[in-house]
Each structure stands twice: as structure tokens, then as C-alpha cells.
Amino acid sequence: MIAYLEEMMDVLLSTLWDVAPIVLLIFFFQVFILRQPVPNLRRVLIGSVYVVLGLALFLMGLEKSLFPLGEIMASQLSDPAFISVDGNQDFLWYHYYWIYLFAASIGFATTIAEPSLIAVAIKANEVSGGSITNWGLRIAVALGVAFALAVGSYRIVSGTPLYLYILVGYCIVVVQTIFAPKGLIALAYDSGGVTTSTVTVPIVAALGLGLSSAVPGSNPAVDGFGLIAFASLFPIISVLAYAQFRNILLRSK
């Protein structure tokens, strides 16, 4: 019990430490530049306590459950003993199919639970007058991350150069931008940045590390990079596709 409380205090302190610069900045602007009281100060303070406490509990919970599990699962699934079918150690890229499936499904699942994406989805729903549904946007982003992690794992396994994928991805985004409804482009570009925070990054890091240390001939320090880059590029494509699809539906009505 006491150990839990101590751990809780640690996580709480480090969350407070993260929040401190923003609080100072807002405080400085309110007191010295804007020189006016914060509207509904009491509510805002209570809400801030919720945010810090909620984030601390969330992180502590993840560290007890999802992160160790994700690490174990990533290393078990990329273990040569698991992949080899009949003792054959000569792996081709398609022998890693469980890894691709795991990468895609864990990418989808963690993105759905990503708090900053929930925040953007709430805002988008509010601003669009409800026409962009909360779950519609989140599922579109999550599908993008799922695809990104599957392709990213394939890249680590096959050892193909990272920049090629990024360049092709950018070209797709540029072409889509020309045809997508203009109102949703900014939101789509934003979706790239929000996918990779609290929940997804540690899992993705574990996946990249486990995979590149298990794949023969790859160097974990160099090849482990790039998954996060994929996870912030592909959601732009999937949300732009969602915007185009939604536009077609609206027109046909």
C-alpha cells in the first residue's frame, strides 16, 4: 500500500513538473500582460487538478498494465523460436505476419485511447456542429496509425530505407490535398501530430526495439527509428481520405 502511494507521489510530481512551464507562462501573461482576473477561476483550478491527477493516474496505470505487456508481447512475437515453423532459421519478410498484425491492431487500439486525440475529436465535433463525429475522426486516425505501424514493421524487417517511404507518403498527401474538401485539411494535418503521445509512443518504441533486435542484420540503434514518423504521416492520409469519403456521401444525399 505504502509502495503504491510512494509511486503515486512520484508520478504526480513528475506530471506537475511537466505542467509547471505552461502554468508559469499563463500566470505571467494573466498577471503582467493582460492584467485581468481569470474567468471562473475556481472551476479552472478544480479542472486543472483533475487534469494533473487524471494524467498521473493514467500514466501510472499504463506503466502497470499496458507497457510491460506490450514489451513482453512484442519480444515474444518477434522471437525467432516463435516465428520459425519447422526449425528453419532463414526468415523471409512474410514469416513475420503475426508481428504485422500485432503492430496494426495495437496501433489502432492505443490510438483510440490516446487522450490528446480525444481532445481534438471533441473540439472538431463542437466546431463542425456535430457533422464530424467524435468516433468517425478517431477511427479514421486509428486506421492510419494501424497501417503505419504494419508498414513500419515491414520496413524494419526488410531493411529498406526510411526516407523512400516518407517521400512517397508526402507525395500522396500533396495529391490528396489538391482534391480534398478545403475545410477539413487543417484538421487532417493536425491528426498527424496528435496520434503519437502518451499511450502510443512507449508501445511503438518497444515494438521497434524488440523487432530490430530480433531481425538478423539490423541495428536497433539505427533501424528502431522511423515508426513514430510513420505513425504521424499515415493518419494525415487516412483523415484526408475520410474527408473525401464524407464529401462524396454528403453530395450523393
Partner 1 sequence: MIIKLTKVLFSKLYSAFKDLIPIIAVVAFFQLLVIRQPLPDFGNVVFGALLVVIGLMLFIEGLEIALFPIGEAMADALTRKGSLFWLSLFAFGIGFSTTIAEPALTAVAIEAGRVASQGGVLSAERVDDYALGLRLTVAISVGFAIWIGVLRILKGWPIYYLMIGGYILVMLITIIAPDEIIGIAYDVGGVTTSTITVPLVTALGVGLATTIKGRSPLTDGFGLIAFASLTPMIFVMLYGILIFM
Q: How far apart are CA 78 and CA 230, in angstroms?
A: 20
Q: According to the binding rule CB under 8 A, does residue 172 interact with partner 1?
A: no
**Shortest distance, position 90 Cβ to partner 1, whole Å:** 22
Question: What whole-number distance in Å separates Cα of residue 199 and Cα of residue 115?
Answer: 8
How many residues in total does the chain contain? Answer: 253
| Residue 153 near residue 100, CB atoms below 8 Å | yes
Q: Is 119 near partner 1 (CB under 8 A)?
A: yes
Q: Name, in order, each residue with C-beta under 8 angstroms of 124's C-beta and a sequence gap of 6 or more.
A: 132, 137, 187
Q: How far is the CB of 9 from partner 1 (least distance, A)?
A: 14
Task: Work out how close the CB of 93 gets to partner 1 at its nearest, in angstroms, rounded to a whole number.
Answer: 19
- How many residues bind partner 1 (CB under 8 A)? The answer is 101
Cell triple for residue 80? 525467432
59-88 residues near partner 1, rule: CB under 8 A: 59-66, 68-69, 72-73, 76-77, 82
Closest contact distance (angstroms) between CB of 88 and partner 1 is 19
- Indicate which single residue of 9, 13, 31, 127 sits in contact with partner 1 (rule: CB under 8 A): 127
Closer by beta carbon to partner 1, 3 or else 92:
3
Among 12, 57, 172, 241, binds partner 1 (CB under 8 A): 57
Check binding of 193 to partner 1 (CB under 8 A). yes
Contact indicator for 75, 210 with CB cutoff of 8 Å: yes
**Using CA atoms, how far apart are residues 151 and 234, in angstroms rounded to an integer?**
10
**Out of 102, 147, 234, 242, which residue is the one contacting partner 1 (CB under 8 A)?**
102
| Chosen residue from 12, 93, 95, 116 binding partner 1 by CB under 8 A | 116
The residues, any chain, with a CB within 8 Å of residue 8's CB and separated by 6 or more, are: 56, 60
In the region spanning residues 138 to 157, those forming contacts with partner 1, defined by CB under 8 A, are 142
- Cα angle vertex 65, ends 117, 75, to 5°? 95
Q: In whole angstroms, how close is the CB of 184 to partner 1 at the nearest point?
A: 7
Q: How far is the CB of 168 from partner 1 (least distance, A)?
A: 11
Taking CB under 8 A as the rule, does residue 179 contact partner 1? no
DSSP 182: G
Where are any strands of DSSP class E within the chain? none
Over 66-111, what HEC string results? Answer: HHHHHHHHHHHHCCHHHHCCCCCCCCCHHHHHHHHHHHHHHHHHHH
Taking CB under 8 A as the criterion, which residues in 12-41 touch partner 1?
14, 17-22, 24-26, 29, 33-34, 36, 38-40
Residue 8 beta carbon to partner 1: minimum distance, rounded to whole angstroms: 9
Cell 523487432: give the residue.
Answer: 211
Q: Pick from 3, 5, 182, 251 the residue near partner 1 by CB under 8 A.
A: 182
